[in-house]
Chains A and B, each alone.
Chain A
Amino acid sequence: MTSATIAGQANPVQYLQAQNRWHWSEIAFWLATLLPFVLAPSYLVLASQIAITALFVLSLDLILGFSGIVSLGHAAYFGIGAYTAGLISKYGWGEPLTGLVAAAIAAGLFGYVTSFIVARFRHLALIMITLGIGLVLQEAANSAGWLTGGFDGLQGIHTWPLFGRIRFDLYGYTAYSYALAVLFLIFLIARRLIHSPFGLALRGIRENGLRMPAIGASVHAHIQTIYTIAAIIAGIAGALLAQTTETVSLEALGFQRSADVLVMLILGGTGRLYGGLIGAAVYMVARDQFSGINPQYWYFWIGLLLIAVVMLLPNGILGGLTLLARRMKVVS
């Protein structure tokens, strides 16, 4: 036993296990996601959109926060998922779960194909490449009006009841339950991935991509895998939006959405799994409130919020909370 206890130090495997264990704050977080059912039943439609957006932000966190791959075109995969789910519903198959699977496959395929380009670049070049992918796809969707409905959006989507019996209601009860369940399941997968050997390799790429080949790692292969996984998750998020709102517009894969998701992730805190979820919630609630106060200028307040958070909390809201929790522990 070489990993025996040395001067009170835990066995290295046990030490790592303790770090991966569920923290009480995580359980509290997921319990809190149930609160809207009780406290704000009239906001369930908004809650469902937050859950969908949170899933989308989570997918970006996997590539940006954990692997250091910057993207300004991530909405492309969200949009492909949305249009795939929307189109199969429009043409006669409105079953939601198989719709998700179809969207995941379509977005994953496009993610895999584009990953060959993405894996070759870093930093500014990567921002341009991903921006380009997003713009190309948006214009392609715009010009293929016969298929996508173009500027008017995709009409005629009808989502069948969940499991053949639970109808999607006007108040968003089913929509939020459905989106939250999918978010939670995929979060579990993402959490497992982050704590896997592959997750460690991704952090290695983020920390020092140049060193990775010198320990025998194929950086391209790793990046292609995570980029494809992130595209699949983004596609599922897009499909959820199409199914719960029963409409898809070009905005689903537009630049604005790519920029918004980036803002939400930075706001919440990158590379922390929960950062994206919190960022999505704060951003969406803030937008809802600000646009209620002043429907024309709400981006002014969003901009102010962004500047304040980045200046005061360089690691995002979650980074600030972690710091606060650590200080309180020291004090007590």
Chain B
Amino acid sequence: MSANALATHGLNKNFGSLVVASDIELVLPQGVRYALIGPNGAGKTTLINMMTGMLQPDNGRIVLGDDDITALAPEQRVRLGLVRTFQINQLFPHLTALESVTLAVCERRKVARTWWRQLTAYRDEIDEAYDILSTLTLAPVCHRLTRELAYGQQRLVEIALALATKPKVLLLDEPAAGVPREESRELLAAIAGLSRDITVLFIEHDMDLVFRFASRVIVMVGGRVLVEGTPQEIAADPRVRAVYLGKVRHEAAS
């Protein structure tokens, strides 16, 4: 077993003449917390889309553990342990929180194709889903439809769905985006409480969160990895300050 959880080798992607990924080389060791930062349009979500198979790179390779997964479909990558959440909620509005997470557990345990047995016969699956929701403080609302939950709770369901697939590598695309301060406590606790067996890469704009949760930081600009290092190194790096602080003001204006 390789000590690296996830690696990319020479990833390139162009949309016409627009370069969204240019020669991206990344190696994520097991168990590390990575923050992926950069101004809007830097290619952060594009990188996650390529890693998870929702977008095919023009060339380059993606390796999960010891497996080259470049050619695999998104669901095959999930089954191997590479899982993501979405910046904009991608949930099941008319399923309850418990049904949603139970579905993810059933898919992982390969019983989701069974149509001749009642779902309620799968007690272990339902209990496991309930446990995940409990640890994320969602047990009291687990029978409510997802669309009726508060936004912060919906962000937690995003994470619950990901955890139900038992990820080895978890890619969180702006997990706290749009969550009001008063609702964010459970969410941040959930991210902080993720098992150390899981390698985490998260996109985040809030620098407080980045410095709180990340042990390493990757800075992307214009489809390239500008620099990678510890939060302290990144904070002190003059290139990062030049590119990033300049853009932050620009972003705030837009």
Contacts and interface: CB of A to CB of B under 8 A. Distances in A.
Given A211-B91, A213-B74, A214-B84, A197 B111 contact: yes
B50 interface: no
Q: Is the interface of A mostly helix, strand, loop or mixed?
A: helix
Interface stretch (A12-20, A44-52, A92-100, A318-326): A12-20
Contact of B119 (A6, A200, A215, A218): A200
Interface string B89-101: 0111111001110
A197 B143 contact: no
Q: Give the interface residue-count category, chain B.
A: 35 or more
A222 B112 CA distance: 9
B79 A216 contact: yes
Given A2-B134, A197-B119, A201-B106, A7 B140 contact: yes
B141 to A, nearest CB: 10
Q: Which of B78, B120, B125, B126 has the most CB of A within 10 A?
A: B120
A152 interface: no
B127 A211 contact: no
Nearest to B102: A200
B83 interface: yes
Contacts of A225: 113, 115
A6 B91 CA distance: 26
Q: Is the interface of B mostly helix, strand, loop or mixed?
A: helix
B19 to A, nearest CB: 26
B123 A13 contact: yes
A167 interface: no
A17 B104 CA distance: 19
Interface residues of A, number: 38
Contact of B164 (A2, A12, A215): A215
A3 B129 CA distance: 10
B48 to A, nearest CB: 11
B127 A13 contact: yes
Contacts of B149: none
Contacts of B86: 211, 214
B118 A208 contact: no
A213 B73 contact: yes
Interface in B142-163: 142-143, 161
A217 B107 contact: yes
B92 A197 contact: no
Interface in A201-219: 201, 203-204, 207-208, 210-219
Given A192-B118, A208-B92, A210-B90, A215 B103 contact: yes
B165 interface: yes
Contact of B78 (A3, A196, A215): A215
12 contacts: A12-B130, A13-B123, A13-B127, A16-B120, A196-B114, A197-B113, A213-B73, A213-B74, A215-B104, A215-B108, A216-B108, A225-B115
